Copies of this chain bind each other. A is one copy, B any other.
Amino acid sequence: MVPFELITVPADDLRILGTEIFTALGAPRRRAEFVADTLVEASLTGHDSHGVSYFVLYSDRIRKGHIDVKAEPVTVKESASSALIDGRWGFGQVTAMRAMELAAEKAKKHMVSAVGACHCNHIGRVGYYTAWSARRGLVGMMFVNVGHPSVSVYGGLGRVFGTNPFSASLPTGGKDPFLLDYATSVVAEGKVTVARTKHEKIPRHWIRDKNGMPTDDPNDMPDGGWLLPFGEHKGYCLQLLMELMGGIMTGSRSGTDTETKPPSPNGVLAIALNPEGFVGLESFDERTDALFQRVKDTPAERGSRVLIPGEPEWESKEHREKDGIPIPEETWNEMAKLAGELGIDAK
């Protein structure tokens, strides 16, 4: 087995590197900065599977014409509290942010809103957008499908749907929001890729090999294997809900469709909710904080710790902002090679 080396890079250096890469590939500078920031934020919060390794993946997609770095999302249908956006195959991040911003604006005025998006490339870590909303005093939810099959259905064999993530973030009185943000598969596909890169085994309930057998070898995934939905039939129901709400409701590609280009598009439905239409933000924050305190005071199982959703992310961010972001040498070398090709000096 190849020894596995980590290189630690300060977040700011990575923000600059990402911005330079996307700018060199034709993106307007502010947009390049924004996309780089979403990817660095994913790495900061500990989601390496959705982080800076995408500098290379997105660059490849830009060069192949799957991502149009100059495309502006357009609103194709709109009411006071709803909208449908056509992302025109620009950066998925730009489309998802536009959807969440529009949803937030409408929820501020009308208490609840829903904004869908189609023709949308990979949006990265979904919690970026929902937590943005929660930090502005709103509930943010995103129902997302991935138009690229990698996960089986409950009781079935083979790849049918994408990892179809769900995220919900809610304000608190404390400094960080509540954040639910996960794939409806046992894990995101990127976590299997990370294990492959690190030459590590994976738990046997993550994937099946091409013959439908349990396996702990992450290499079985690209070799015709598939991920499982989490939580048996209950996770499967959520997987389908994401497909219907994120994918079908917005006119986006389904995992069951036969097209394969562009790779891994997302269908996105953002819902924003304003606590002022209900108990009010002040009362909501106050009771939520008291509730979280009682949850944190719960006696833990041996060897365990009771966490509030989002807590691991905010803890990781605090550490990595101070200490830098650890990147596998292999990933770093790919980034340096790309930077070299684009005439950028990666420090």
Using a CB–CB cutoff of 8 Å, the interface residues on chain A facing chain B are 77, 79-84, 110-114, 116, 139, 152-158, 160, 168, 170, 178, 180, 182, 212, 230-238, 240-241, 243-245, 248-251, 254, 256, 269, 271, 273-275, 277-279, 283-284, 287-288, 290-291, 294-295, 298-301, 304-309
Contacts and interface: CB of A to CB of B under 8 A. Distances in A.
B82 A248 contact: no
A237 B279 contact: no
A170 to B, nearest CB: 5
B168 A241 contact: yes
Contacts of A274: 82
A153 B77 contact: no
A153 B298 contact: yes
A278 B82 contact: yes
A251 B287 CA distance: 9
Main secondary structure of the interface of A (DSSP, over half): mixed
Nearest to A78: B277
Q: What 8 A-B pairs come out closest when comparing CB atoms?
A: A231-B231, A82-B111, A155-B304, A156-B298, A82-B277, A180-B237, A112-B114, A251-B279
A238 B237 CA distance: 13
A290 B160 CA distance: 13
Contacts of A237: 180, 182, 309
Given A156-B300, A231-B232, 9 more contacts: A84-B279, A180-B240, A230-B232, A230-B234, A237-B309, A244-B288, A248-B279, A248-B287, A249-B278
Contact of A84 (B235, B244, B277): B277
Q: Counting chain B CB atoms within 10 Å of each CB, which of A232, A274, A283, A298 scores highest? A: A298
